[in-house]
Amino acid sequence: MSKIISIRISDEIEEKLSKIARETERAKSFHIKKAIENYLDQFADYQIALDRLNDKDDKIISSEEVRKLLGV
């Protein structure tokens, strides 16, 4: 199921979006949906990293230790 929402964007962003839509022969809505999906995925990853960083019980491993564990 899909929902319809409306947003306001600047003329500059709309121009860039229109250009990408023309170049890829895809609808602007396709690119907006993909951009939002990408943002939400990255935000979730960011939130997990931030939560782990703030967790005082979570052991921090140095890059050197990781390389040693991986045999790199």
Residue 51 belongs to some domain of the structure: yes
- Predicted TM-score (pTM) of the model is 0.67
pLDDT the model gives residue 56: 84
pLDDT one-digit tens code per residue, 28-55: 999 999 999 999 999 999 999 899 888 8
**pLDDT tens digits for range 19-33:** 999 999 999 999 999
- Measured CA to CA in angstroms, residue 46 lies from 37, 50, 56 at distances of 14, 6, 17
Q: Does 3 map to a domain?
A: no
Domain that holds residue 65: 11-70
- Let me know if residue 4 belongs to a domain: no
DSSP 3-state assignment of 29? helix
Alpha helices in the chain (DSSP H): 11-24, 28-54, 63-70
Handedness of CA 32, 34, 37, 39 (dihedral sign): negative
Q: Residue 57 — pLDDT band, cuts 50, 70, 90?
A: confident
Quick one: pLDDT at residue 60?
81
Q: What is the tally of structural domains in the chain?
A: 1
pLDDT of residue 58: 82
Q: In this structure, is residue 35 part of a structural domain?
A: yes
* Residue 2 domain-assigned (yes or no): no
